Amino acid sequence: MRACIPLVLAVLCSLAWAEDHKESEPLPQPEEETEEALASNLYSAPTSCQGRCYEAFDKHHQCHCNARCQEFGNCCKDFESLCSDHEGFSHSSDAITKEEIQSISEKIYRADTNKAQKEDIILNSQNCISPSETRDQRDRCPKPLFTYVNEKLFSKPTYAAFINLLNNYQRATGHGEHFSAQELAEQDAFLREIMKTAVMKELYSFLHHQNRYGSEQEFINDLKNMWFGLYSRGNEEGDSSGFEHVFSGEVKKGKVTGFHNWIRFYLEEKEGLVDYYSHIYDGPWDSYPDVLAMQFNWDGYYKEVGSAFIGSSPEFEFALYSLCFIARPGKVCQLSLGGYPLAVRTYTWDKSTYGNGKKHIATAYIVSSA
């Protein structure tokens, strides 16, 4: 597959990929920032240690969060509160480097034996448009995106457990989520199945070695809170979760937000609920998983840019997004997959049930690929 436009991780690229960015709110929320706010967050000198604890020294920053900032008296004001004994890995020797992230992401990529093979999916990506055309809301593709999917994939344990979760949410934000005993059991079943895979074993082994988790059960418990714990997007308590946003999709103020999963897309398209409009990017991978950034209508609501892996297993996406959230919370996370670079942007959210509101909850989406 070949990119229809060259994309690199730069200001213009990131702005082109930004989702739901036209609204400006007093406190910017995941995927709803203005273009100016996004550029500021990514490329201007930050004044907080949020997501920066024990990062490498950068002379361009206004204040610092590295291991020696206290020695030099140039720490950010919130260094002590955010970075002191930060999640149990306060020493600079425990910081995860970019090279380590790229190395483990390659291992996860190679370990994804449950991914789709070339013959399992036939895509019809059709019309490629420029980023400037993404707001047009024009359907430039008369045919569905998926011509064929081998649904035998969905009988695999992790796929089946993943699909069981997709109908557990109200897609409209502002309505509190309440899980039944069966739905809570389905969350546990999904985590149990993915932890049997080589993908998640690779991730846990890496994070255990990095002193992030002392046991596999501690890791599983954290994943459950991180992804299935509820947070508030507005006045309604607990109306969203990381899993709902990233994998299932939501509707807020008449727009689609989140919805970054190919399985969800295929199932909704099959039911006639998703209408594929166009794409602005088709990744360089010649096998699955690949990456596609697309425009679509979900049952009457428009998605301006929805980036998603295509053909990956549920555990593969869950592992990469979790890796990025743990290693680079609230920042761009630079991965390497099959020799090609990929950037994922994570967001943190404080108004959550995760750690009684003292820990951040995860949302993530693909930013760009070179």
260 annotated active-site: yes
Domain that holds residue 348: 98-366
Banded pLDDT at 254 (limits 50, 70, 90): confident
Same domain, 59 and 106: no
86 annotated active-site: no
Same domain, 61 and 187: no
Q: Which of 279, 303, 331, 360 is catalytic?
A: 303
The single-letter DSSP state of residue 155 is G
Banded pLDDT at 12 (limits 50, 70, 90): very low
Give the closest residue to 284 by CA, choosing from 345, 338, 321, 333.
Answer: 338
Same domain, 215 and 344: yes
Same domain, 236 and 146: yes
Helix axes 198-209, 314-327, angle to 10 degrees: 10
Banded pLDDT at 62 (limits 50, 70, 90): confident
- The answer to whether the bond into 289 is cis (omega within 30° of 0) is yes
Same domain, 54 and 107: no
DSSP string, 68-128: THHHHT-B-TTHHHHHTTGGG--SGGGPPPHHHHHHHHHHHHHH-TTSPPGGGEEE----B
Q: What is the mean pLDDT of the chain?
A: 79
Per-residue pLDDT, averaged over 285-297, amounts to 94
Give alpha helix (H) positions in 166-275: 181-194, 198-209, 216-228, 242-243, 262-270
The whole model's pTM is what? Answer: 0.76
Q: Is residue 232 pLDDT above 90, yes or no?
A: no
pLDDT at 235: 59
Same domain, 105 and 59: no
pLDDT in tens, 154-168: 999 999 999 999 987
Within a domain: 39: no
Same domain, 256 and 350: yes
CATH (domain of 50): 4.10.410.20
Q: How many domains does the chain have?
A: 2
Within a domain: 301: yes
Handedness of CA 313, 177, 273, 282 (dihedral sign): negative
Within a domain: 83: yes
Same domain, 193 and 321: yes
Same domain, 73 and 162: no
**Residue 54 backbone dihedrals phi, psi, to 5 degrees:** 65, 30
Q: Which of 245, 252, 255, 331 is catalytic?
A: 245
Within a domain: 306: yes
Per-residue pLDDT, averaged over 45-57, amounts to 76
245 annotated active-site: yes
Cβ–Cβ < 8 Å for 52, 92: no
- Name every residue whose Cβ is closer than 8 Å to that of residue 100 and which is 6 or more positions away in sequence: 206, 210
Same domain, 252 and 191: yes
Q: Is residue 217 pLDDT above 90, yes or no?
A: yes
Q: Which of 61, 64, 260, 359 is catalytic?
A: 260
Within a domain: 15: no
Same domain, 73 and 122: no
pLDDT in tens, 17-31: 333 333 333 333 444
Same domain, 161 and 258: yes
Give the whole-angstrom CA distance, residue 253 versus residue 159.
Answer: 31
Within a domain: 6: no
Banded pLDDT at 86 (limits 50, 70, 90): very low
Per-residue pLDDT, averaged over 190-217, amounts to 96
pLDDT in tens, 134-159: 999 999 999 999 999 999 999 999 99
Q: Is residue 34 pLDDT above 70, yes or no?
A: no
Token code pair at residue 118: 């070339």
DSSP string, 298-339: ETTEEEEEEEEEES--HHHHHHHHHHHHHHSTTSEEEEEETT
Q: Is residue 55 pLDDT above 60, yes or no?
A: yes
